[in-house]
Amino acid sequence: MCEWNQNWARVVRAVVTCLVVVQAVPSVAVEPGATLNPSAAAMYLGKPIEYWVAEARSGNRREEVGRVVEALTAAMSDPVAETRVAAADALGALGKAAKPAAAALVAQMDHESPWLRTASSETLAMIGADALPELVEGFKKMPASAKVRIGLIFGSIGAEAKPVLPFLKEQMKGDAATIADRLEGVIAAIEGAGAGGGKRGGAGGTGAMLEAQLPQVADADWPGFRGPRRDGICGETGLLKEWPAGGPPLAWKIEGLGKGYSGVSIVGGRLFTMGDRAAPGGETQFLICVDLATRRELWATRVGPPHQDGPRCAPTIDGDRVYALGTDSDLVCASVSDGAIRWARNLAKDFGGRMMSGWKFSESPLVDGGRLLCTPGGPDAAIVALDKATGATIWRCAVPELGPKGKDGAAYSSMVMATIQGVPQYVQLLGRGVVGVEAQTGRFLWGYNPIANSVANIPTPFVCGDHVITTTAYNTGCALLHIKREGDAWRADEAYFLPGNVLQNHHGGMVMIGRYLYGGDGMNKGDPACLEVATGEIMWKAKAAGRGSAAVLYADGRILFRYDRGPIYLVEASPEAYRARGEFTPLQGKGPAWAHPVIHRGMLYLRHGDLLAVYDLRVKH
């Protein structure tokens, strides 16, 4: 069961960017449109931006590459941010040939538009080592926030960025001392890039056949992050096995959800999500409820202060209560019927909570029986269990030192429930690695440090029997752990470890179908990959059809890869080979399309910032 949230440039995007009940505001239908809306009047070398974008992506160009780069570089000064984004993306299609635009791209690291900073960062990473001189110059001159973004680009370039290591280490002692902790993670990633090029360890820990069983019947609802089991598996059938040209039909759409990457949760004919939007007194982070039958907003409840790019939590619904976590660690329990707050806690204030790095709290809370579980990341309260009805503390778990890798604090993952060696427990990825905690008492059982990185640990672990599969990016990798118990003593034995150049999932998660794990591979990439879990053998890899990371969802023999630029691909769930069975670009909002897709009663729900677009996947008889 995997989560959030791909590649260095991807998190650059995150770096770059990173309730009292209020009167309900009706949702407004959004007209079809694209993420980009370039300035139509602007001309570059005598032609509009659309012409040069098409030339950059064409396999049969009419223009010399140098002239294309010259025009797109000029467009990087356009007053319309969307035009610059279009130019940056088009330059990315040219790869290393875009080197002459490097200085113009670096200049965007301090722009107010998160999407422009992200697009420019990704393209600089694609140019690679050839962009190092411009990146170094930018690092010297730009403010601390831009230095962090440039540092992450160095990390995304990987081993080819090793020539800048002496410069970065010197900077940590001088002008960049205030961001030394961020640079430590960058340096560690560069130093580790390309190392340990093969699999470590044996195959299949105990030799057991590791296989995930698909649900036998469709789930009635989708009550939280990645579904009822947090595994990204939808049990519905009767869905399109191939998509027609242009994709499945649009059923309906609404806008007004606000800024954010939160996915949607659906229970009892109501849809729940989160978003930052305008309110009396200033922008505010909201928990939002929409009636599916009428597509009208029923209520919106304030959670806490806004974040630069909005919330990430997918609300968790349990009976007549809905739970949500804001980016400032505000945890709320609200009434499903009217959004009234029943109780609230603050993970930072109440438990000393902190994040491993600067992108704020992102977890989706977990309900188990009478307990509500969440991850403050505090020294004495890494994980806590609360009474789901009152918010009172049941237990708190202090995690001992796991090892040198990673950073202290909570990570960007959402925990899962499991029974391992006969003991119910919660498995979570923290800043220092993956851990298991006894469900009844909160006692720390086991931990594993080598999977941690120092920037952002994101994907939710998978549990299969007494084994745990865990992966992170930033040149880290993927590990299969065999969890063993001898009396009261527990340990996590490494069955195998695949380094980052073999398999790493940044964010977007993976799905386990039978004996195989499927998902996007690479930092800030979503290269489709299939892994046989028991052996660690890569069955196949394919070059990503879309740019950026991919959030994945399984349904009816197919896997949906939703890329952060918006396109979505339908892929056959087979270990034999990569086979795409359709693709389309849905209606788009602004910024990265990071919200995980959801299928509910034959409908595909795609949240993209302020917009929700719903497509009909049902086979018509």
What is the per-residue pLDDT across 21-53, written as a single tens digit (0 to 9) for each?
222 323 333 333 333 455 556 899 999 999 999
pLDDT at 155: 84
pLDDT band at 522 (very low <50, low <70, confident <90, very high): very high
| Pairwise pLDDT comparison (439 vs 39), residue with the higher score | 439
pLDDT band at 118 (very low <50, low <70, confident <90, very high): confident
Residue 56 has a CB neighbour count (10 Å cut-off) of 24
Paired tokens of 193? 């890039």
Same fold, 34-192 and 199-616: no
Phi, psi for residue 208 in degrees, rounded to 5: -75, 150
Q: What's at 370, amino acid-wise? A: G
Do the beta carbons of residue 398 and residue 413 sit within 8 Å? no
Q: Where are the beta strands (DSSP E) in 292-340?
A: 296-304, 316-318, 321-325, 330-335
pLDDT in tens, 283-340: 999 999 999 999 999 999 999 999 989 999 999 999 999 999 999 999 999 999 999 9
Checking if the pLDDT of 607 tops 50, the result is: yes
Paired tokens of 144? 């601390």
Percent of residues, the chain, with pLDDT higher than 70: 91
pLDDT in tens, 122-169: 899 889 999 999 999 999 999 988 998 898 899 888 889 999 999 998
Checking if the pLDDT of 208 tops 70, the result is: no
pLDDT at 25: 29
Mean pLDDT over 224-242 rounds to 97
pLDDT at 35: 39
Mean pLDDT over 176-180 rounds to 73
Q: Which of 87-91, 105-109, 469-473 has the lowest mean pLDDT?
A: 87-91
Checking if the pLDDT of 14 tops 50, the result is: no
Q: Which of 38-42, 451-455, 539-543 has the lowest mean pLDDT?
A: 38-42
Helices (H) and strands (E) in the chain, counts: 11, 37
Checking if the pLDDT of 3 tops 90, the result is: no
Domain coordinates in residue numbering, the chain: 34-192, 199-616
Q: Domain 199-616 falls in which CATH fold?
A: Methylamine Dehydrogenase; Chain H (2.130.10)
**What is 34-192's CATH number, 1.25.10.10, 2.40.128.110, 3.40.50.970, 1.10.340.30?**
1.25.10.10
pLDDT band at 193 (very low <50, low <70, confident <90, very high): low
pLDDT band at 206 (very low <50, low <70, confident <90, very high): very low
pLDDT at 5: 38
The whole-angstrom separation of Cα 88 and Cα 593 is: 17
pLDDT at 495: 96
Percent of residues, the chain, with pLDDT higher than 90: 76
pLDDT band at 8 (very low <50, low <70, confident <90, very high): very low
pLDDT in tens, 248-293: 999 999 999 999 999 999 999 999 999 999 999 999 999 999 999 9
Q: Residue 64: which residues within 8 A CB-CB, separation 6 or more?
A: none
Residue 31 has a CB neighbour count (10 Å cut-off) of 8
The whole-angstrom separation of Cα 498 and Cα 201 is: 9
Which candidate, 456, 408, 399, 391, places its Cα nearest to that of 426? Answer: 399
Checking if the pLDDT of 435 tops 90, the result is: yes
